[in-house]
Amino acid sequence: MYSKAVVVFCVCACALAAAGPRVNRVEPLTKPCFSKCPELNVRAFKDPTPVVSPRDDLTKPINERYPSAVLFGRTCGGTIIGDKWILSAAHCSLFTSGRDILAGTNNTEDGTGIRRRVKKLYVHPRFSVGPYWLNADSYGIKQVAARWDFLLAELEEPLELDGKILAAAPIDDIAEHQGGETVGFAGFGAEQHGDVMRPDEHAMDLEVLPNSSCSKLIEFDPQDMLCATGRPPRYDTACNGDSGSGLISDSGSVIGVASWVENDAFECKNGAIIYFSRVSAARDWIKQITGI
Ligand SMILES: *[C@@H]1O[C@H](CO)[C@@H](O)[C@H](O)[C@H]1NC(C)=O
Ligand SMILES: *[C@@H]1O[C@H](CO)[C@@H](O)[C@H](O)[C@H]1NC(C)=O
């Protein structure tokens, strides 16, 4: 990436220099600079933040890129935020029969990973959904949405966090997320609407959308939600069973909890916008319950 940028710049610099003396700042070049470029020009193109997020290190297995991601119950995801605490979506308490979590693995069926039983669930006091969540069809509703969709699960026994395959994600307390920010998401949800959970963990890169684009759906309220969408060429989206999984920022903190998807009642179409509960909105409540 870096060397490519340098070559491109050099080619441009040569072209500009050849165009005549009107271009200042670019030192006159006596020879084309395809192989050796002036230090000055190279510096001008250096990326000021060359840090690669651990989430983006594709040489690592998904569970090491997302060491805070867990399977919550049998049909949801969640995020480790402390050795005894998992953050998930409140609506998962309506559907998931399980009272346990599976952490530190990228496969839910091969016996790997660490299981912990849940001692107690805490639903956000402002959580609400309509009755249509259970049967959107009979209400003739296409779009389902939840408000304040946060759940905290306290574990019976603490997880031994090693920071590599088991880690707690810092909790985001910044409400301001500009459109365009790259974020990531990992879970075990279905590939297609109505399918069962996938045993293999999958991850996707998403882009946060500005509030104004999220409000394309009237159910959106920036107070407790943020939205993101898949990037080309895959235009990934979330699907049934990805609910509760964390939206992870470059710094590794959890900024959202997967709550609902555009046209949720019918499909998980590529490119569909995913709506997350905005973690910063529940910051005080999380602190109050967990002390974290
Ligand atoms: C799953 O985890 C195992 C053990 O950490 C690793 O060897 C494997 O490459 C991982 N698979 C994927 C698809 O990430
Ligand atoms: C989106 O709305 C939330 C809640 O009102 C606000 O805190 C945040 O700053 C807004 N984001 C942007 C990028 O304007």
What is the model's pLDDT at position 136?
A: 75
Q: How far, in Å, from the CA of 208 to the mean position of ligand 2? A: 12
What pLDDT was estimated at residue 96? 67
Per the annotation, the verdict on 149 as an active-site residue is: yes
| Substitution candidate for ligand 1 out of 63, 164, 200 with most atoms within 8 A of CB | 63
CA of residue 283 to ligand 2 center, whole Å: 15
Distance 200 CA to ligand 1 centre (A): 9
Q: What is the dihedral sign for C-alpha 139, 274, 269, 215?
A: positive
Residue 85 DSSP SS3: strand
Element (H, E) at 162: none
Residue of minimum CA distance from atom 11 in ligand 1 = 61
Query: Which has the closest alpha carbon to 206: 246, 264, 167, 170?
Result: 246
Three-class SS of 122-142: EECCCCECCHHHCCHHHHCCC
Q: Burial, 28: exposed, middle or buried (Cβ in 10 Å; 0-12, 13-18, 19+)?
A: exposed
| Distance from Cα 221 to the centre of ligand 1, integer Å | 38
Which ligand neighbours the alpha carbon of 59 most closely?
A: 1
Atom of ligand 2 nearest to the CA of 211: 1
From the candidates 93, 124, 149, 249, give the one annotated as an active-site residue. Answer: 149
Ligand 1 cavity residues, CB under 6 Å: 61-63, 106
Check: CB of residue 225 under 8 Å from CB of residue 211.
Answer: no
> Ligand 2 — pocket residues by CB below 6 A?
175-178, 210-211, 222-223
Rounded Cα distance between 276 and 94, Å, is 17
Beta-strand relationship, 114-123 and 76-82: unpaired
The answer to whether 69 touches 201, Cβ cutoff 8 Å, is: yes
The burial class, CB within 10 Å (0-12 / 13-18 / 19+), for 31 is exposed
β-bridge partners, 71 = 77, 102
Q: For residue 182, report the distance from its CA to the centre of ligand 2, in Å.
A: 17
pLDDT at 1: 39
Tell me the pLDDT of the chain (292 aa) as tens digits. 344 433 333 333 333 333 334 433 443 333 444 454 444 444 444 444 445 677 888 889 999 999 999 999 999 999 999 999 999 999 998 876 668 999 999 999 999 999 999 999 999 999 998 777 777 778 787 788 899 999 999 999 999 999 999 999 999 999 999 999 999 999 999 998 889 999 999 999 999 999 999 999 989 999 999 999 998 888 899 998 999 999 999 989 999 999 999 987 678 888 999 999 999 999 999 999 999 9
pLDDT reported for residue 14: 37
Give the model's pLDDT for residue 213.
Answer: 96
Is 202 annotated as catalytic?
no
Residue 106 Cα: closest atom of ligand 1? 1
* pLDDT attached to residue 247: 98
Among candidate residues 243, 245, 277, 280, the one labeled active-site is: 243
| Cβ–Cβ < 8 Å for 124, 90 | yes
* DSSP secondary structure of 169-238: PPBP------TT-EEEEEE---SSTTPPPPSB-EEEEEEEPPHHHHTTSTT--TTTEEEEEE-TTT----
> 3-state class of 44 per DSSP?
helix
